[in-house]
Amino acid sequence: MKKIIIFLIIVSFFSLFFVKQPALSGLDEEKKKLEQYKTELEKVKSTIKEITTSSQEIISLINGLDGEINIVTGNINYAENKISALENEISQKETQIKSRENEINLREGELEELLNLSYKLSQVSTMELLYEGSEPAIVQQRISYISYISSYSNSLMGQAQKDRQELLVEKNNLQKGKNDLTNFLNQKIQEQSILKDEVEIKSSLLKSLQEKKTYYLYQKSEIEEEIKKEDALIKKLIEEAMKSQLTLKTGLIWPIKGEITSGFGWRTSPIWGGKEFHEGIDIAVNTGTPVKAAADGEIIYVDWMTGYGNLVIISHGSDVSTFYAHLKSFTIKKGEMVKQGQTIAYSDNTGWSTGPHLHFGVYIGNKAINPLDYLPKNP
Q: Could you give the CA distance from residue 130 to residue 244 in angstroms, rounded to a whole number?
A: 161
Q: What is the pLDDT at residue 21?
A: 42
Q: Could you give the CA distance from residue 27 to residue 32 in angstroms, rounded to a whole number?
A: 9
Over residues 246-271, the pLDDT tens digits come to 555 557 899 999 999 999 999 988 88
Over residues 87-112, the pLDDT tens digits come to 888 788 788 878 877 877 777 776 67
Q: Could you give the CA distance from residue 254 to residue 173 in angstroms, rounded to a whole number?
A: 121
Domain 253-373 class?
mainly beta
CA 189, chain centre distance (Å): 36
Task: Please state the pTM of the whole predicted model.
Answer: 0.45
Q: Could you give the CA distance from residue 89 to residue 102 in angstroms, rounded to a whole number?
A: 20
Per the DSSP assignment, residues forming a β-bridge with 357 are 284, 348
Phi, psi of 335, rounded to the nearest 5 degrees: 90, -10
Residues of the chain with pLDDT under 50: 1-24
Q: Count other Cβ atoms within 10 Å, centred on residue 146.
A: 17
- Locate the domains of the chain by residue range: 42-220, 253-373
- Strand spans (E) along 248-373: 259-262, 265-268, 275-278, 281-284, 290-292, 297-305, 309-315, 320-330, 337-338, 343-347, 357-364, 367-369
Task: For residue 365, count CB atoms less than 10 angstroms from its CB and return exposed for 0-12, middle for 13-18, buried for 19 or more.
Answer: buried
CATH no., domain 42-220 = 1.10.287.2610
Q: What is the pLDDT at residue 266?
A: 93
The answer to whether the CB of 314 falls within 8 A of the CB of 14 is no
